[in-house]
Structure 1
Amino acid sequence: MKALLQINTVVNTGSTGRIAEDIGNMAMENGWKSYIAYGRYGNSSNSNVIKIGSKLDNYIHVLFTRLFDKHGFASKRATRKFIRQIEKIKPDIIHLHNIHGYYLNIKILFDYLASVSIPIVWTLHDCWAYTGHCTHYTYSNCQKWRTHCNSCPEIHSYPKSLRDNSYKNFDLKRILFNSISNLTLVSVSKWLEKDVKQSFLMKNHICQIYNGVDLQQFKPVPSKHILSKLGIENKFVILGVASTWSNRKGLCDFMDLSKLLQPDEVILLVGLSNSQMKNLPIGIIGISRTENIEELVELYNAAAVFVNPTWEDNFPTTNLEALACGTPVITYATGGSIEAIDKDTGWIVEPGDIKGIYDIIFRLKEKHWDKYTYDCRERALKYFNKHDRFAEYFNMYSSLLNVHGNK
C-alpha cells in the first residue's frame, strides 16, 4: 500500500489545513495510507497525524525569529525527531504545504529531502519560499525578491523580527530550496505561478492547480433565519470574511465604505476579534471567527454581494465559497484574487477605490438576483469543485511515481 505524507503548519483547520485533509481523504479513497504532519494545532483528522515538536519548541522558535530573523532555522531537535518518523513511515510521496510557522528547521529538512529518492511536491500557498523574510510583498510593493532581498520593508510583519536578516535568509533559501532534484512546485494561482517563474526557484518544475471547495457544503440555501437572528432581514447585506482581519485584508477599507452606506444597507464582517468588534462604526456588524460551516454557508447566502478588498492575496478561498453559494464577488485587482471571477460573477476595482466598490453596490440593488446566483454557482461547479482540483494532485502523484520507477 502506497503512503502519502503531507506537512503543514496546521491540520484540518484554516484553508491550508482543510486542503491537506481533503487531499489525504482522496488518497485514502484510492487505497493509499495518509499521514499529515503538523506543527501548531488543528482539529481531528481522518489521516494519521504526527505532531512536530512541542509548544515549548514553538515558543523558542518564535523567540529565535523575533531576535534574529532566522525563521525556519530553529526547531532542530523537533525536526530531527520528525525525520526519524519519516524513515519509519517510508512514504512514496512527500507533499509540503506551509513549512513556515515556527515548527520546522528547513536546513535539516531539506538536507534530508535532497538525500532521498522520494518525489517531493510543494504547494506554495504564499510567497515565503522565494523571499528573504515575508510571505507577501504586494502591500509594500517590494520587488527585491527578483534580484536579492535586503533591508526588508516587511520586517515587522509575519514572521516579524527586531532585526533584518533577509539578505542571508535569501541566500540560504535559494541554496536549500534548489537542492532537490525531484521537486515539483505547485502554485495556487496563475499570478503566483508567474512570479515563481521569475524567482530563484525558476529552474524547478512548476505547475498551477487552483484550490477548490466542498460544493456539497457550500451551496445556495435559505438564509432568512440568520438574517432575522442578526436583525437585518430587511437589509442589503455586504459580506466580508477573513480568518484574521487587518488593514492588509481591507478592514480600514470596510470602515471607509461604511461611511457611504444608505440606511437600508449593512456590512457584515466575519472573523473579527473581540477588540475589533468593540470599535466598529455604525453600519458594520461584526461576528467572530467561526468553524461552523453551516453558519458560514448561511452568511454567504444572506449576502447580496461578497466584498474582498484584500491588498495582497494569492488565491483566497473565501471568493470560491461565495461563488459556490451563488453570491457575486467584488475584489481588488491584487494577486490571484481576480482569478476566481469573470464578467458574469464579479467585479474588479483598483486597490483603495472605495467609491468604485460602492458604485457597483448601488447598481447591484437594481439587478435581478437569480442570474447572479445561477452564474456564480455554475462557475464554482466548473472550476472550483475540490474533488476535481485535488484529483489533479493524485494524478500528479501517480505520474511522479511512474517517472521515478516506484512500485
Structure 2
Amino acid sequence: MRVTIFSTFDTFGGASIAASRLHQALGRHGVQSRMLVQDKKGKAPEVYSVANNWVQQKIALARFAADRYQFAFYEKSKAVRFVFSQAKIGIDVTSESVVKDAEIFHLHWVNFGFLSVQSLTQLAKLNRPFVWTLHDMWAFTGGCHYSGTCESYQQACGNCEHFLRKPSSDDLSHQVWLRKKELFQQMDLTLVACSEWLAEKARQSSLLQGKKVISIPNPIDTKLFYPQHKREARQQLNLAQDKQYILFAAMKISDARKGFQYFEKAIQHLITQNPSLKDSVELLVMGQAQESDFGNIPCKVNVLGRLSDLSKIATTYAAADVFVIPSLEENLPNTIMEAMACGTPVVGFETGGIPEMIEHLQTGYVAKAPSAEDLAKGIAHILQHPNYEDLGKNARSKVESEYAEAVVAKRYETLYQSLL
C-alpha cells in the first residue's frame, strides 16, 4: 500500500518528530510511506518538500508570515498568536507526484501556511481515504490547538473569550468551525489520537460526530533510545558520578501550559524539605534556555542547550536519575517516551495523556495537578527509591510493549488495510 504523510515540518516540534518517526517505522515494517512537508530540514529518505528551491522556500516563509499576520487582527494578545490557527492560507498540493500516487492520505500537524481548509478540500476531491493523527485539539475546534477549560468545541464554537479580541456568537472561531464542518462532510476520514485522553475529547466534539476515532500512540526507535550505564553516560557528558541529576526539557518556558512555575516551586520545595539534597542534587536542562532562567533554583543548574544529536539526547536521558515534565496540558509527549525508553523514571502531572504513559509508582510518579508540592514529593520518591533499578526496567518494558516501532506500525498497517 502507498501512504503519503502530510506534516508542516519534518524535524521541528514534537508533532513533526512523531510524524517522521511513524514514517520511518512504516518503512521498516514494509509499508510504502512517503512524506510531504512544507519545510524540510532533515535528511531522511522519501521525505519531499513543496519548497525545493530558494524562491519556493521564500514563498513558503511568506505563507507562514501571512498566516500569523492575518490572525494578529483578531488575537486577544500576542501571547496567543501561535496557539490559534484559522487555516485560511495554504498551498494546493494535489499536483504533487507523492499525492497523485498515494492510496491513503495521512495528515498530521499541517498548520502555519501549509495546508489550509481549502487545501484539504482540494485533497478531498481526489477521493482517497484520510487518516488524521491528532497531536492536539485543532482538528475539532474553531481554531485553538488546546481549549483549556473551554468546552465550546462540543457545540459550535463562538464567543471565544480565551483567544479572540472581540468574541461573539459569529466570531472567527465560529467561522472556522463552519468551514471545517463543510470540509468534513466531504472527507472519508478516520481520526487517530495519540492518547486516549485526546481521543475522548475528539469523540465529544461536535465536528467529529459520526466519524471513527481511535487511539494509537506515537512510535519510538528503541535501538536509538535505550538504557545505558549511568557511569558511562555521565563520563560522556563530563558529569559528576556522585550527584543525582534531575532532567528538565526547556521548550517555551514562558508558555503557561508548560508549567515551569510549578517545576521551579517543586525544586524549591524539594530542597527545603530535604536540605541534604542541596549539595547532592543538580539540575540538567536541555532545550532553549539560559542559566538566568533558573535563577530561583536552589541547586546547581547545568544548561546543555538545544541538542540535535539524537545519540547525545539519549545519553542525556540515560545519565539522569529522573526526568520531570511539569506540563499542564499535553497529548503524548515524546520526551516521556524517550526517557522511559532509556530506562529513566518520569515524574509528571495527572493531566492530558501523561497518566497513560507513566504508571504511578511503577515507572515513575503521577502528581496531582497543579500541585508543586506533590511534584516535589514525586521527585523525592524516585531519588530515594530503595529499588530504583526496577523503576527503570519497568519503564523500558512499557515502551517495548506499547511504543516500539514494530508495534505501532502494525496497528497503523491494520488500519490502512481496513480503509482500502
Q: By the TM > 0.5 criterion, same fold?
A: yes
Normalization by structure 2: what TM-score?
Answer: 0.84
Identical counterparts, % of pairs: 23
* Whole-Å separation in 2 of the counterparts to 1:114 and 1:276: 49
Partner-residue secondary structure (3-state), 2:393: helix
Q: State the match for 1:355 in structure 2.
A: 373
Which deviates further from its counterpart, 16-25 or 321-330? 16-25
Q: Which residue of 2 aligns with 1:288?
A: 305
Structure 1: tracts of 5 or more residues without a match: 402-407
1:375 equivalent in structure 2? 394
Residues 1:101 and 2:112 aligned together: yes
Distance 1:254 1:86 in 2: 47
Question: C-alpha separation between the residues in 2 aligned to 1:44 and 1:303?
Answer: 29
Moved more, 364-373 or 162-171: 162-171
**Aligned runs of 1:21-32 on 2, under 5 Å?**
21-29=20-28
Of 229, 247, 262, 1:253 maps to: 262
8 Å Cα contact 1:9-1:39 kept in structure 2: yes
Larger mean Cα displacement after TM superposition, 119-128 or 217-226: 217-226
- Compute the displacement of 1:19 (Å): 3.0
Gaps of 5+ in 2: 52-58, 76-84, 272-276
1:327-346 matches, within 5 Å, as 327-343=344-360, 344-346=362-364
Structure 1 residues 292 and 277, CA gap change in structure 2 (3 angstroms): farther
Shift, 1:30, TM fit? 6.0
Letter in 2 for 1:252: Q
Match of 1:73, SS state, is coil
Using the alignment, how far apart are the partners of 2:406 and 2:18 within structure 1? 11
Structure 1 residue 46: Cα displacement = 0.9
Distance 1:386-1:33 versus aligned 2 partners, 3 A rule: closer
Q: Residue 300 of structure 1: which of 310, 313, 317 is its match?
A: 317
Kindly indicate whether residue 221 of structure 2 is the aligned counterpart of residue 211 of structure 1: no
- Partner of 2:94: helix, strand, or coil? helix
C-alpha contact 1:272 1:287 (8 A) present in aligned 2: no
Other structure's SS at 1:8 match: strand
- Whether the 8 Å CA contact 1:35–1:50 is kept in 2: the answer is no
In structure 2, the partner of 1:110 is 120
Question: Matched residue of 1:54: which SS?
Answer: helix
- Equivalent residue number for residue 131 of structure 1: 141
Match of 1:266 in 2: 282
Q: Is the 8 A contact 2:368 2:375 kept in 1?
A: no
Tell me what 1:42 maps to: 41
Determine the structure 1 residue equivalent to 2:411.
392
Q: SS of 1:331's equivalent?
A: strand
- For 2:202, the equivalent position in structure 1 comes to 196
1:189-227 C-alpha deviation (Å, 9 max, x unpaired):
111111111102121111110112111111111343554
345-354 vs 52-61, which deviates more? Answer: 52-61
Q: 1:88 to 1:331 in 2, by over 3 A?
A: closer
Note the C-alpha offset of 1:23.
3.2
How many residues align? The count is 388
Alignment of 1:118-197 (within 5 A): 118-138=128-148, 141-155=149-163, 165-180=172-187, 182-197=188-203
Q: CA RMSD in A?
A: 2.6
Match of 1:72 in 2: 87
Give distance in 1, aligned partners of 2:403 and 2:30: 24
The one-letter code matched in structure 2 to 1:130 is F
User: Within 1, Cα distance between the matches of 2:359 and 2:99?
Assistant: 47
Structure 1 counterpart of 2:95, from 84, 98, 101: 84
Question: Per the alignment, in what secondary structure is the counterpart of residue 84 of structure 1?
Answer: coil
CA distance in 1, matches of 2:18, 2:239: 34
Deviation at 1:33, TM superposition (A): 4.5
In structure 2, do the counterparts of structure 1 residues 301 and 30 end up closer, same or farther at CA, with 3 Å as the change threshold?
closer
> Residues of 2 paired with 1:27 and 1:360: CA distance?
36
Query: TM-score, normalising length from structure 1?
Result: 0.87
Following superposition, the deviation at residue 71 of structure 1 comes to 2.3
Q: Is contact 2:336–2:346 with CA below 8 Å preserved after alignment?
A: yes
* CA–CA separation in structure 1 for the residues paired with 2:195 and 2:328: 16
CA distance in 2, matches of 1:30, 1:295: 26
1:278–1:316 CA distance, 2 compared to 1 (3 A) = closer
